Structure 1
């Protein structure tokens, strides 16, 4: 089954347009993770306890697993889903690699589809993982270590067995040659050893985030040690890698398209947890340099499925003949996840952004209300939280007593407003006037308080240095949003420019933090944990390729992340996340943009799916649990529409 489920938990980094940005994974830089949720009857263990050691077919962070060891399929799939046909969608920019776990190159969408991991998750349970390459796990109640008992039937594409030694190799090579973020994510894994061919044990730092580490270990993508004996893991490649997952490479046109084919010999294809999944014979991504071209290609039938992120296109573009003829389905489906953290992110590594008053002032120049009314057809709401659209995780009003119990010992690290004011929300501007003078006056006063004074040329200076800001952008479609913002920044006396570059240059500059401000979106987990260090932690601030876009360094934030990672109950977790949300919002590390807690989708009417109006909460599952409906496809062929 293709999910976003390799651990470290998927915090999605993305690119946007009035527009919500589509998601990419930070650690794998690709769209879909290939994972077959497997549980062979011969290795089915309900949770059992021997002394203080737990033996089970899966693990849950909080509470019991939903599915027992003998379940036949996940509730959200169609167990009779037919196999065949194709799924195709689009991707933005370009690619030059099928190696998604390294810093070099830009990996193709879906290029993690080749790999399995020891554990995997599903589309219903944000807190749970089940065995994949491992049929059973053993761990003490304190989670200081974990032993994975692996399936002897698991095979790589070449027919060789997946061994414990491959897991050890995979861990070591990711730390030594993988994305720098792996070294950060795995720093509390102190030992990995193969006890025999099919048993591997991980030992953890007893002072580390033990609640998280078991799943972090279980989520490591497993590579073939033999395959890399004569290959350099750190070098990007367009060759089909050696994996054990449900799909293989069918075709690659560098920078233009990539196609994956379902493996008939996939070792886990008939296991109960794969029932109803991995239904398409081929999965294809077509690449486009801009959103307009991608939409026109969809209208022309170049690909079959599109989630629409542009409010302008959604509001005005979906009236073409194929829709009127019933050949294209257009619908809105609920999204049960936190809405994401899309915004203009400041690069705090640059001195000009060191004063939070400067950042707050720059944020006030963005008139969301005008943008929503004039550009977005009124379909969005303003984001103010890093866990927007999640009532249990989003901070509201003044801090509760439970939040204060966490925050007070860390008071020295945070702005006083955390304790004296409600959780920060952006000021509301006038929708009828881009240049809301009231807001711009307030912003100008903040800049003056921070020492940035207007000179004779109308621009702001401090200690002889001019306040200049470049907003990095890689999409022509986003120009209409950035340019009005630039106008307002100039009205404040800031020498602001919008610099649109091609996607490849943008990717390189972002890897190396070469920007003043950049638009990014992160889809936050419903069960946040230690992976938050990748976005907000001090130890990732200067690691090339990390997703700490802002370059945030704050000891109090680091401690809050650890409190979240160590939370022993869902209630404690929710409280700690609200405290972190409150703190981050007070620091003005971004200018929040907008959200819509729904999926806007359109597709050629050739698919079936196991739900009507209520998809599983964690994903639509389009490429994994949908299927090709040959009768519908033939009807479109007969009409000359396919």
Structure 2
């Protein structure tokens, strides 16, 4: 059944279409025209006649294969719904969008399935024109009907992450044989770009099937991407093969991409086994996120023979955020003073030395390693202070004055941190009674830490952390579950504390509402794991989305960074994305000398790599 919302807007659109014609023509005359690409701010860096992306080698040979070793497993081929666990890579390797993103620019899109994009000067609408030659892997054309079905279905039956943007679409209409227009009901300049990178699926694949129930492996998706799923066994492996008849192989955007004939994913029990599989030659590439391991554990025979190459890939993107998130929906963590106590009790310097040799620095802001990062411990000034001022009475201390993470003496005992944590717990109504942290009614303070049984490093951190919490009279429980259970409990928000990470880009936008927005706080499948409900946070995200210039955008990002840090929602550790990134790989695997702005990120490996002896 078609949702009532969509049916109503389509009827309204048809009714007023004639009246809008003159107005639309006026907008076009005011500056709207079909373009080859679109940037969040300013113009795309590449001209309309560009021949290839700057970080792709147009002369790269075709052939060979890349083999990834992964921990965990999968039981579904549909990564677009809540149900089941599908390889996340399918979204990027096996499905295309109307526009493709260049990761050598903060946020710029170029035509992929769409040959042109057109927007109103205020971006109140966006229109795409499909390429006539666009085809699915079975040879059938990509049609406007497929596009419209994909948007509606993903937004109404798919994962909740697709619903937010759809709620801002006033109407979706076919405006020509190969053209689709989206009109928005809010002032959000990023929407034109967000709509452009939604996955496009083949409608006929799901005829007679409830899309939101189509988990499992009975349906192999038919898509337009250069790779198709050719072999798989759930929980064990998956093979994607390059389609020799891929429709877009000569597009400027794709030239020098999709060079490898085969991409294989092999699944193993845990992170330690994954590394051993790579050392044994079962996989031919491996990303190392631990600086100490990179420096000390890559002297095995294949490296010494030169069969494995150690590559370092620099980047200019934010590092993202990584740590143990506290579920503020739970009474234990509703008080910011308790959350600060958890941070004070965490002996970061000791843990970092024990696990990493003290090499990687701690994450201190949510946009670290970029111009979007705020300055920890310093007062807000200028436009940032102006943005925060209306919320001064309600935001956590430190957001305006400046908040900085504690620095311990590096010892396991962390005396100063434990003392500060005890004081904060007492302020929040908790004291140590007979060696146990309790409230006034004698109820012990305790919580559960949920962790995937494959997360070896997280378990190491948790073991040291729980010993530190014992000095506060707190004994948390630890629940280790398999990958599928971990995903399901995360979707259901069924945890007290859990390790998590948040990727960050140079153009944060609508995804911030998914991470931190009040409207998403209690939604099933939300990525707002902390349960943040802050009018100030919502306002900063809205300001980012409405910004028309880079300075206003940066100020709003700095203010958001301050609010999240001062909210004490996460016990932060080190970045999962060291700079430079560390990739060990077979000597036959190569990548271009020119590394994009985002470095080793989406769109880099395997997209621009090739095989050559």
Please state if 1:410 is matched with 2:388. Answer: no
Alignment of 1:95-494 (within 5 A): 95-112=74-91, 113-205=93-185, 207-209=186-188, 211-234=189-212, 235-238=214-217, 239-311=219-291, 313-396=293-376, 397-419=378-400, 421-422=401-402, 424-431=403-410, 433-474=411-452, 475-494=455-474
User: Matches of 1:412 and 1:186 in 2, distance apart?
Assistant: 34
Provide the secondary structure at the position in 1 that maps to 2:203: coil
CA contact (8 A) 1:472 1:498 kept: yes
**Equivalent residue of 1:344, what SS?**
strand
Judged with a 3 Å threshold, the aligned counterparts in structure 2 of structure 1 residues 409 and 459 are, in CA distance, closer, same or farther, namely: closer
In the alignment, which residue of structure 2 is the partner of 1:84?
Answer: 63
Give the whole-Å Cα distance in 2 for the aligned partners of 1:537 and 1:490. Answer: 34
Residue pairs, 1:7-86, within 5 angstroms: 50-86=29-65
Alpha-carbon separation, structure 2, partners of 1:383 and 1:600: 18
| Matches of 2:338 and 2:382, distance apart in 1 | 31
**Residue 416 (structure 1) shift:** 4.1
Paired residues in the alignment total 577
Q: Does 1:600 align with 2:582?
A: yes
Under a length normalisation based on structure 2, what TM-score does the superposition of the two structures give?
Answer: 0.91
Secondary structure of the 1:121 match is strand
Deviations 1:466-488 (A, max 9, x none): 21121111123432211110011
Structure 2 gaps of 5+ residues are 1-26
1:164 and 1:101 mapped to 2: Cα distance?
20
Once the two structures are TM-superposed, the CA of residue 196 in structure 1 deviates from its matched residue by: 3.3
1:574 and 2:574 matched: no
Match of 1:541 in 2: 521
Distance 2:368 2:72 in 1: 27
Instruction: Map 1:490-529 onto structure 2 (within 5 A).
Output: 490-529=470-509
Distance 1:463 1:56 in 2: 66
C-alpha distance in 2 between matches for 1:255 and 1:573: 43
CA drift of 1:497 comes to: 2.4
1:635 is aligned to: none
Q: 1:459 to 1:415 in 2, by over 3 A?
A: closer
Gap runs ≥5 in structure 1: 1-47, 632-642
Of stretches 618-627 and 343-352 in structure 1, the one that deviates more from structure 2 is: 618-627
- In the alignment, the residues of structure 2 paired with residue 493 and residue 364 of structure 1 have an alpha-carbon distance, to the nearest angstrom, of 15
| Pairwise CA RMSD | 1.7
Give the 3-state SS of the residue equivalent to 1:619 in structure 2.
coil
| Structure 1, 450-459 or 558-567: larger mean CA deviation | 450-459
Is the partner of 1:467 in helix, strand or coil?
A: coil
Give the distance between the partners of 2:543 and 2:597, measured in 1 at CA.
Answer: 29
The aligned counterpart of 2:607 is: 624
- How far the C-alpha of 1:314 sits from its partner, in A, is 2.7
Q: Which moved more, 1:595-604 or 1:278-287?
A: 595-604
- Post-superposition Cα deviations, 1:408-449, rounded to whole Å, max 9, x if no partner, equal 123233124322x22x22111121x21111210111010001
Normalised to the residue count of structure 1, the TM-score between the two structures is: 0.87
Deviations 1:47-93 (A, max 9, x none): x9732323211111111111111111122221110000001112221
600 and 462 in structure 1: CA distance in 2 versus 1, 3 angstrom threshold: farther
